[in-house]
Amino acid sequence: MGTGIMAGIPIVIKLQNQVKNYDWGSEEWIPSFLGEENPKGEPWAELWMGTHPAAPSRLICPGTPLLSEMFGPLPFLLKLLAAEKPLSIQAHPDLKQAITGFEKENRQNIPLDAPYRSYRDQNDKSEIICAVTPFTALCGFRNPDEICLLLEILLTSSEGETKDALQALLYPLKQRFDRSEEISLPLIDKPLGDFFSAFLNLVNPGFASLIKDREALLIRDYPEYKKEWKLCSHIAGLHPEDPGIIAPLFLNLIQLKPLEAISIPAGILHSYIYGLGIELMGNSDNVLRGGLTSKYIDKPELMNILNFNMHKPDIFTPGDDDEVLFPCTKDFALSLIRNKGPFIKYENKTPAILFVSDGSVTFTKDSIKLLSLEKGESAFIPVSENPGLQLSGNFNIFLAHTIT
């Protein structure tokens, strides 16, 4: 039944997970990865592995109980994410903001499943994304000077309402910020806050036609920003009326190779653009959106949670080690385990979800086979001590686990 038992405690249990269908997902990527069919042709966006009530995992054992019913809630949520189209421009709250926002919306009697609800739980959602395929993302505000440069390039070719919109965005970035007069303010780059507030109040500023008409000339005259111009043009084809078309000009463009990763703290504005990745986050579905979406945008609350310091995430490269710990939070972590030899010992001592991203793995203890997993399959390992548990096969495994 896919379970090893030691003194009545399951050693390793295969999981049955749920798929989330969002319009930015792919009809093929996740089904192909899992070796499954998609007869309805729906966009499979995320495979959730964890205990979040919106799509909880079940244990493949008698009765197929919920993972949370047997072992309680986990502080993390692991996902296989397929972004064939850009996700919304978004940020997530920290723990204090999540608790406050959740309680406020409860007092307002907003149903948990209401489309205009921002806080669906009381958990924070700091996250890490590790590329499975080449992966493109936007993350964190650029240096204001660079934002000015890029917007001024567009300004020289604009006219009418589009020119007015660009000037409205440029104005706060060009103002000097004298901290000596406002020493009581938090140490933030205030012009970025004023800039983004102006951005949120734009209504169909005509960026699509400007970018489309000028793309070739922009690439010719400013080839150092070729990737940004091309991405703006791509987004313009998907969201022609959305001001978020110019997001690549004020957010950092990040391109990850397979197994490279970035960490995204709470309050950092970002958007996943294209690629298949493994994402680990707090056990939360709290999203504050700012563009490139037909869903609800809560402008005041987004402004309330955002970090307006410029921020460019470091790219973490795992190297060639057999076991790698990615940058983590205080509560949970993501590890990569690779094996090409006869076997390795399982050393983790905390509850964990294991996901096979390549190859296959067999779990044994005292020469007894407990479970085998293929690419795309996952398992839960609940026991804090597993002396003698071995993993054999040629595989790449992602391990999401708590930290003691």
C-alpha distance from residue 212 to each of 32, 169, 199 (Å): 34, 20, 20
Residue 258 neighbours by CB distance under 10 Å:
17
List the one residue out of 269, 375, 259 whose CA is nearest residue 315: 259
DSSP β-bridge partners for residue 380:
13, 353
* Catalytic residue status for 289: yes
d(CA 283, CA 145): 36
Q: Judge contact between 278 and 78, C-beta under 8 A.
A: yes
Query: Is 382 within 8 Å of 44 (Cβ atoms)?
Result: no
In the chain, the amino acid numbered 24 is W
Where does 239-297 have alpha helices with state H? 247-250
**Phi, psi dihedrals of residue 162, rounded to the nearest 5°:** -65, -40
- Catalytic-role residue among 117, 214, 289, 338: 289
Nearest to 189 by CA among 107, 73, 308: 308
Write out the catalytic residue numbers: 289
